[in-house]
Amino acid sequence: MHIKKKTVLFFSILFLAFATLVSANEAIIKTDNLNIRTGPGTNFEKIGQVHSDEVYPILQEQEGWVEIELTEGTGWVTDEYINISSNKDSKGANQSDMEPVTEKTITIQHDNTQLRDGPSTSYEIIDFANEGTKFNVLSESNEWYEIANDDVTGYVLKQLIKKEESTSFNGMNNKTIVIDAGHGGRDVGAIGATGTHEKDFAFKTTQELKQELTALGANVVLTRKNDEFISLGSRTSLPNILDTDAFISIHYNSFPEMPNVTGIGAYFYDDQNEKLAKDVLQGIAKETGARNRGATFGDFHVIRQTFKPSILVELGFISNPEKEQLLQTNAYQKKLVTGLVNGLNEYFANK
Ligand SMILES: [Zn+2]
């Protein structure tokens, strides 16, 4: 009696080890009402059906047929209507293989999508989700999402979720952003085609940008709050003492000798800030249609002496009479700011 129990246990363990070992591949069913048969061929008896987006461990493959592990027993289906996913995770996959994820949501694509108790098909199916159901992603591995909503928490195979959304990502929340309106007071900056001053354009953009970023939850700090002269030193000390996520110095260009020249550009001092400069420029160019003159190294005090992510942007040529007019309009300023915010969001999302 004693020996027999041990033998049973031994074979149980052997079976479990074997089952785990051979479930390295998975069949994802691609059609409804696919017949399950007792052997690898249409001459074998039908014992049931499987349906779209169900996932089963594969036990073996033979000449166009696969044997799959069903809830009860096993059966064979043709490989014509399945996708085979080689799930390297499934051998001993567990919760510790999952990387935490924040602010990502997924939407179930098909009715009766299987949710499992763990990140492999060797875990039990605990629930089914219907098309359109939204879940927050808690963690992920190469193959699996751990998902949750108010009703259920479980694991779903990534292949079943074709569309990923990241709608809830708001890169601005709680970010400290220092905006530096170039020039001011007796330092008027560049002179526009009709005698306008760069300092006024920069100030207008800064005010608009502050409003927008604040609305998105950012902590916005301005180096200059009025039309006043501010030393370069105090422009950089502010971002340096704060926990600054981005410092943006706002400028406009002028090239009176060639009034046809237009476009936007950005400067970075440290190579690490090239991405910030590029993302912001791309955001603006996309929103405004302005010519992107590119991001380049620039040896300017405000970016050289700021030891936080910092760039200097040139948002247009006020020496071009048409652009000078356009840049003064609220509509264009709003576009500039929208583009700038989109660029910053891109930067924070993929930093
Ligand atoms: Zn300037």
Q: How far is CA 135 from CA 79, 107, 167, in A?
A: 31, 6, 12
Distance 181 CA to ligand 1 centre (A): 9
Question: What pLDDT, on a 0 to 100 scale, did the predictor assign at position 253?
Answer: 96
Phi-psi region of 203 (alpha: psi -120 to 50; beta: other; left: phi over 0): alpha
Distance CA 162, CA 81 (A): 18
Distance 313 CA to ligand 1 centre (A): 9
How much is the average pLDDT of 183-197?
Answer: 97
Q: Could you give the domains of the chain? A: 2-86 (2.30.30.40), 95-165 (2.30.30.40), 176-350 (3.40.630.40)
Amino acid identity at 279: D
Contacts 24+ apart (CB under 8 A), 278-282: 279/343, 279/344, 279/346, 279/347, 280/248, 280/311, 280/313, 280/340, 280/343, 280/344, 280/347, 281/313, 281/343, 282/343, 282/346
Opening angle at CA 54, ends 49 and 56, nearest 5:
85
Distance CA 89, CA 73 (A): 23
Distance 334 CA to ligand 1 centre (A): 20
- Residue with the bigger pLDDT between 87 and 341: it is 341
How much is the average pLDDT of 177-183?
Answer: 98
User: pLDDT tens digit string along 16-29?
Assistant: 444 444 446 888 88
Using 50, 70 and 90 to split pLDDT, how confident is the model at 91? very low
Distance 312 CA to ligand 1 centre (A): 9
How much is the average pLDDT of 228-250?
Answer: 96
Distance 212 CA to ligand 1 centre (A): 22
The region of weakest confidence among 128-137, 251-260, 304-313 is 128-137
Distance 187 CA to ligand 1 centre (A): 10
User: pLDDT tens digit string along 128-179?
Assistant: 999 888 899 999 888 899 999 988 999 999 888 865 544 445 678 889 999 9
